[in-house]
């Protein structure tokens, strides 16, 4: 872990890993080892960016032109709608469980009452008053007794449990809370992971707005490319050289994603305003392509795309794969990870995880 000043206990931390991916079986791609696990650790994905040399993109772009486009919906409905009608029909639960659905409500985590549904678990983030009135069991959210903050609570409800049936005492208590306390309709982002569609769609009763996530391609992006290879250090624990490499290269990648003029060869900004220069003593001029997706994305879809990228891009070529989550908390910080596959080093990677 990189060093941070004192007093940043609750601030986001950046963890850096340099490793080897190992063998990749396209029929059974890894899910529990890095860097694959870093992608699947996201609950929801808001933005995905993929950067690679332009000459490589010209060779492989046909493989990405025919890929399925992610789809999601925006819909307004109350919590009680999740437990009624076709949304919770027991026959559908057995054949197509709620684990196939991703849902994220509007609101700021830590400020508003917000809700999310993933893998069949409905999570409620509530203020103290709503939690006490609802009468359902949860646990404190975050630090207790911190000056200047109000106590908040988190409730997790596993909708896959056999006891989640109308007529059961625990389930009826949840229904009561949704019908009498947590009654305000909220805007949801809804993503169905199911491979088959149901007619009629139970979402139609709430008049959803359907969205398709289109890929955005930036070509002919001319930049100054630094040396991407990490320092060769005999110290297995890595010294300050690797730390400097990790910090400086992450900064350069961030500027690439922002399309900053600071890394472009024709940059003429007055050094009095900015003295930034790409890391390293030598730079090469190269053209990059950046492909972006932005919307309500499934981590599973992003994981499948990463495997497809690994199989398509030549093994001696570098690329960067950047995954960003939704902003959380008052500060709006989000969980994200950046995977850089190193050039001329088959399967070696550097992974930055911010959480």
pLDDT digits (tens, 9 = 90+) for 60-78: 988 887 778 899 999 999 9
Residues 186 and 275 grouped into a single domain: no
Domain boundary among 212, 231, 258: 212
pTM value is: 0.89
Does residue 220 share a domain with residue 302? yes
| Residues spanned by the domain of 90 | 71-212
190 and 224 share one domain = no
Domain tally, the chain:
2
Q: Do 265 and 201 sit in the same domain of this protein?
A: no
Same-domain check for residues 237 and 347: yes
Per-residue pLDDT for the chain (355 aa), expressed as one digit of tens each?
A: 555 555 555 677 889 999 999 889 889 999 999 999 999 999 999 999 999 999 999 999 888 877 788 999 999 999 998 888 666 654 344 344 445 789 999 998 888 899 999 888 899 999 999 999 999 999 998 655 455 567 889 999 988 888 888 788 888 999 999 999 999 999 999 998 876 666 667 788 888 999 999 999 999 999 999 999 998 765 555 567 888 999 999 999 999 999 999 999 888 888 888 888 888 888 899 999 999 999 999 999 999 999 999 999 999 999 999 999 997 765 557 789 999 999 998 889 999 999 8
Task: Please give the Cα distance from 250 to 267 (Å, whole number).
Answer: 20
Question: What is the reported pLDDT for 236?
Answer: 58
State the DSSP code for 333.
B
Which of 162, 185, 212 is the last residue in one of the domains?
A: 212
What's the gap between Cα 218 and its chain centre?
A: 21
pLDDT score recorded for residue 97: 47
Per residue in 137-184, pLDDT (tens digit) is 999 986 554 555 678 899 999 888 888 887 888 889 999 999 999 999
- Report the mean per-residue pLDDT for the chain: 86
Q: Are residues 63 and 81 in the same domain?
A: no
Which stretches of the chain are assigned E, i.e. beta strand? 14-20, 45-53, 71-77, 101-105, 114-118, 121-127, 139-140, 152-158, 186-192, 209-212, 216-225, 284-297, 319-324, 336-341, 348-354
User: Are 190 and 163 in a shared domain?
Assistant: yes
Asked if residue 176 is part of any domain, the answer here is yes
Tell me how far apart the alpha carbons of residues 13 and 8 are, in angstroms, rounded to a whole number: 9
Decide if 166 is inside a domain. Answer: yes
Q: Both 62 and 166 in a single domain? A: no
Same domain, 104 and 38: no
Residue 149: φ, ψ to 5°? -120, 150
Chosen domain end from 187, 212, 237: 212
- Do 218 and 298 lie in a common domain? yes
Question: 202 and 275: one domain?
Answer: no
| Co-location of 94 and 201 in the same domain | yes
pLDDT of residue 274: 85
Q: Contact 164/171 with Cβ under 8 angstroms?
A: yes
């Amino acid at each position: 872990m990189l060093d941070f000043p004192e007093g940043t206990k609750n601030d986001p931390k950046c963890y850096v890993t340099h490793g080897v991916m190992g063998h990749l079986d396209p029929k059974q791609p890894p899910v529990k080892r890095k860097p694959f696990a870093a992608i699947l650790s996201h609950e929801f994905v808001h933005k995905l960016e993929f950067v690679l040399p332009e000459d490589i993109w010209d060779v492989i772009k046909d493989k990405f032109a025919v890929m399925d486009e992610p789809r999601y919906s925006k819909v307004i409905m109350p919590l009680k709608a999740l437990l009624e009608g076709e949304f919770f029909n027991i026959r559908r639960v057995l054949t197509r469980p709620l684990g196939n659905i991703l849902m994220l409500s509007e609101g700021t985590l830590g400020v508003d009452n917000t809700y999310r549904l993933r893998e069949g678990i409905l999570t409620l983030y509530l203020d103290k008053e709503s939690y006490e009135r609802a009468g359902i069991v949860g646990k404190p959210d975050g630090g207790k007794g911190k000056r200047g903050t109000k106590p908040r609570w988190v409730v997790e409800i596993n909708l896959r449990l056999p006891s989640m049936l109308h007529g059961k005492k625990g389930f009826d208590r949840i229904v009561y809370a949704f019908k009498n306390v947590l009654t305000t309709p909220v805007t949801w982002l809804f993503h169905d992971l199911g491979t088959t569609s149901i007619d009629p769609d139970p979402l139609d009763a709430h008049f959803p707005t359907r969205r398709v996530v289109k890929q955005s391609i930036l070509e002919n992006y001319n930049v100054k490319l630094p040396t991407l290879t990490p320092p060769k250090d005999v110290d297995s624990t890595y010294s300050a050289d690797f730390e400097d490499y990790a910090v400086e290269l992450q900064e350069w990648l961030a500027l690439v994603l922002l399309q900053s003029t600071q890394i472009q060869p024709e940059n003429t900004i007055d050094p009095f305003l900015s003295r930034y220069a790409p890391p390293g003593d030598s730079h090469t001029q190269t053209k990059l392509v950046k492909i972006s997706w932005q919307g309500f994305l499934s981590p599973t879809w992003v994981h499948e795309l990463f495997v497809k990228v690994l199989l398509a891009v030549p093994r001696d070529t570098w690329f960067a794969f950047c995954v960003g989550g939704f902003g959380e908390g008052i500060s709006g910080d989000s969980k994200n990870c950046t995977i850089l596959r190193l050039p001329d080093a088959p399967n070696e990677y550097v992974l930055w995880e911010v959480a």
